[in-house]
Structure 1
Amino acid sequence: MEVYTVNPDIEKYKKQARKFLFLLWLIPLIILAFTSYYTIAPDEVGVVTRFGKFVRIEKPGLHFKIPFGVEIVKKVPVKKQLKEEFGFRTLRAGIKSQYSTENYLHESLMLTGDLNIGEIEWSVQYKIKDPVKYLFKVRDVKGTFRNICEAVMREVIGDRSINEILTTGREEIAQECKNKIQKLCNEYETGLDVKLVVLQDVNPPDPVKPSFNEVNQALQEKENMINQAWAQYNKVIPNEKGKALQIIQEAEGYALKRVNEAKGDVAMFNDVLKEYKKAPKVTKDRLYLETMQKLLPKFGKVIVIDSKQKNILPLLDLMKGGK
């Protein structure tokens, strides 16, 4: 009977081979596990491509896809407010924001419509409204968007004077820039929605700042004088208008009174005329007596004299018993 002995080294190699084969199977399984699912955050959407071609958009949550790079997910923050800054950079935002000390004059220096130079710092706030266009329609969306913003701002500033930019025209400039930037974004199919354009700081260049400060001070004094004049106007004019209205109302009341009195006199005259036509002599005597009754008390002492008498002889003392 023959006896065979097992070489320990052979057994060791077999075990190592089995472990190697196990690892060969385990690695694809691990890759499969980690490449077959993904999570979308609440402020994002997932744009899924298969072999580079867009296939679908996934909402926030846990999702599965074809692994091994067949399907690739690109997460786009569609609900996040994004911002691009021009002429300055914010290092850290907060109660006391920190800004970069670098010079960005190539972005902020602009030529105005009256051939002056203005140093303008502004920002543009926007959102991604169409993730598919944002990812596939433009090669460099951020660079293109910044170029659009800078071109539009220079165009709008070039149509206005430096005084308008520094004082009263800032809000109008921001709104016009917003509309024009949005129009170009739609034409280029960037998928962006412009929310707000903010002029952070508008200043003249350093060499001419003192002169512009004097101009601003003069404009403020002008506005102050205008406001004081309007205050005086509002104080005096309404009072005088009230007095004028009172005089007009008194005149109208007096006119109405005189008209009513005249109508009353006319009515009384018509009544007297009616009675006079019925009895002319009686009415005439009555009117005479009534008139004398009203007039005689105003004459004082009355003496009746007979014109045929040669001497003065009082015949009747009408004021007897009176004054």
Structure 2
Amino acid sequence: MTQDNDPWGNDPRNTDGSSIGSILDKLKKGLLGGADKHSGSGRGGPGDDNSGDNNPRKQSGQGPGVKFPSLSNKAIAPIVVLALLGWGSTGVYILPEGFHGVELTFGRYTETAVQPGFNYRMPYPIGDVTKVDIGSLKNLSVGSRNGNTEGQMLTSDENIVEVSLSVQYKVGDAEKYLFNVNEPEKVLKETLISSIREVVGGSKVDYVLTDGRAEWPAKVRDNLVNTLKGFKVGFHIARVELRDAKAPKEVQEAFDDAVKAREDAERYKLQAEAYQNEKLPLARGKAKAILEQAEGDKASFIAQATGEANRFDALLTSYQMAPNVTRDRMYIETLQNVYQKVNNVVVATGKNAPLLYLPVNGGMANTNTMPPVLPTGEENPKADDKKQVESSGTGQDNLPKIDIFRSRNNKELTR
């Protein structure tokens, strides 16, 4: 019953040797038998005491000089399990932050682990993993330095320029980075140089050195990205920066003068814009003040004209009510206004009377006597009878007393 319940499967009825117990027995016998053969005297004759099944050393599994412990199935099984566990633990690996793990099985790509921390692949040597840094930003520079001529480019107008650029990149696809091309960094450098030659070769020297310094590096980046997509190298291009662009040493002085002239022109332009920004607001302010003053004058003149029009309207009403009185009053007021502004007053007392100049503001210095002019344009024959009238007052007080005025319709009115 004990043998029937052997946990290692040593069933006496199983004679085909396929049970686990029989396999362990064969393994133990093979190990111990090999040890007996190598540790014995080698004399296996019939008369030898060390040969035969009755040899106690052979029965105990010990040679003449080496003692092997007796191993049972229960002792071997844990050892095998531990060995399998140890071998399986070789498939455990730790993936750092910012890394991708490219897993291989029998040398063939299996998958890419992207989760940081503990990951598992097939145990060594069946499986392997390559950790690729995809988080770090790397830098690659090309240009003319230390006697290197890789930065010398020929422009479209057949001028040689020396340029130096740097590209910042990182690995975007770990699988493509490892398996698509050999030496991907070298491929990146050669592609960058080719892109620079293409852009600079299609531009003029002034554009490369001065006018387009901020533009053509972006064109280099676009060209580089498109070319790398065809190669499928797995790079992500962050940016391309221009470090230096200059003419060769032999003509550098002439190019410096040209650059200085352009800088002076730009400086003068900025000064002119500053002057414009200073004077233009002042001119606009003055123009606005003039417009406002004109608007004020406009309103004043309109109000004055409106008042005059209203006065004439009122005068029209008075004239319609008493035309003769209104007409005479207007005539008298007009004469008063005129006499206040002149120094001489001419009074005609008759048809052929001489013209008398009366000083309004006093004095006789400016008093003159002139003969009257007849309606036909002839001189008055009695011009010699003219008299000088002297006035001693000023203003309206010195005006002569006029009793009769002749109206416009030749009617005499009595005041």
| TM-score, shorter chain, exceeding 0.5 | yes
| Superposed displacement of residue 244, structure 1 | 4.6
| Superposed displacement of residue 290, structure 1 | 4.0
1:4-54 residue CA offsets vs partner (Å, 9 max, x unmatched):
789996463526x9xxx99x9687765543x21111111112232334133
Contact 1:83 1:126 in 2 (8 A): yes
1:12 to 37, 59, 66: 66
Gap change, CA 1:200 and 1:304, over 3 Å in 2: closer
Distance in structure 2 (CA, Å) of the matches to 1:274 and 1:134: 108
Structure 1, 6-15 or 260-269: larger mean CA deviation: 6-15
Distance in structure 2 (CA, Å) of the matches to 1:205 and 1:28: 69
2:264 matches 1:221: yes
Higher RCO structure (Cα 8 Å, ≥6 apart): 1
1:44 to 90, 99, 102: 99
2:134 to 75, 78, 82: 78
2:96 matches 1:64: no
1:265 to 292, 303, 308: 308
Gap change, CA 1:295 and 1:84, over 3 Å in 2: same
Helix, strand or coil for the counterpart of 1:266?
Answer: helix
1:103 maps to amino acid: G
Structure 1, 296-305 or 113-122: larger mean CA deviation: 296-305
Helix, strand or coil for the counterpart of 1:12?
Answer: coil
Distance in structure 2 (CA, Å) of the matches to 1:131 and 1:3: 66
Write the mapping of 1:1-323 to structure 2, written as runs, cut at 5 A.
Answer: 10=64, 12=66, 14=68, 30-33=86-89, 35-51=90-106, 52-87=108-143, 102-105=146-149, 107-299=150-342, 307=350, 318-319=396-397
Gap change, CA 1:306 and 1:110, over 3 Å in 2: closer
Contact 2:102 2:109 in 1 (8 A): no
Distance in structure 2 (CA, Å) of the matches to 1:314 and 1:204: 103
Gap change, CA 1:186 and 1:306, over 3 Å in 2: same
| Superposed displacement of residue 102, structure 1 | 4.2
1:120-158 residue CA offsets vs partner (Å, 9 max, x unmatched):
111111122233333344444323322221111111111
Distance in structure 2 (CA, Å) of the matches to 1:155 and 1:134: 25
Helix, strand or coil for the counterpart of 2:166?
Answer: strand
State, as a whole percentage, how many aligned pairs show the same letter.
Answer: 27
Gap change, CA 1:249 and 1:3, over 3 Å in 2: closer
Gap change, CA 1:319 and 1:123, over 3 Å in 2: same
| Superposed displacement of residue 104, structure 1 | 2.4
Would you tell me which structure has more helix in proportion to its own residues? 1
2:109 maps to amino acid: K
Gap change, CA 1:264 and 1:183, over 3 Å in 2: farther
2:268 maps to amino acid: M
1:27-86 residue CA offsets vs partner (Å, 9 max, x unmatched):
7765543x2111111111223233413334331111122212333322222221122211
Distance in structure 1 (CA, Å) of the matches to 2:183 and 2:297: 85
Contact 1:129 1:191 in 2 (8 A): yes
Distance in structure 1 (CA, Å) of the matches to 2:224 and 2:297: 69
Give 5+ residue unaligned stretches, structure 2: 1-53, 355-384, 399-415
1:237-270 residue CA offsets vs partner (Å, 9 max, x unmatched):
5544544554454445434433343233223323
Gap change, CA 1:79 and 1:287, over 3 Å in 2: same
Contact 1:123 1:199 in 2 (8 A): yes
Distance in structure 1 (CA, Å) of the matches to 2:113 and 2:102: 5
Contact 1:43 1:80 in 2 (8 A): yes
1:45 maps to amino acid: H
Distance in structure 2 (CA, Å) of the matches to 1:266 and 1:63: 104
Helix, strand or coil for the counterpart of 2:397?
Answer: coil
Query: If the length of structure 2 is used for normalisation, what is the TM-score?
Result: 0.60
Distance in structure 2 (CA, Å) of the matches to 1:187 and 1:272: 100
| Superposed displacement of residue 195, structure 1 | 1.0
1:48 maps to amino acid: E
2:397 maps to amino acid: M
Structure 1, 280-289 or 60-69: larger mean CA deviation: 280-289
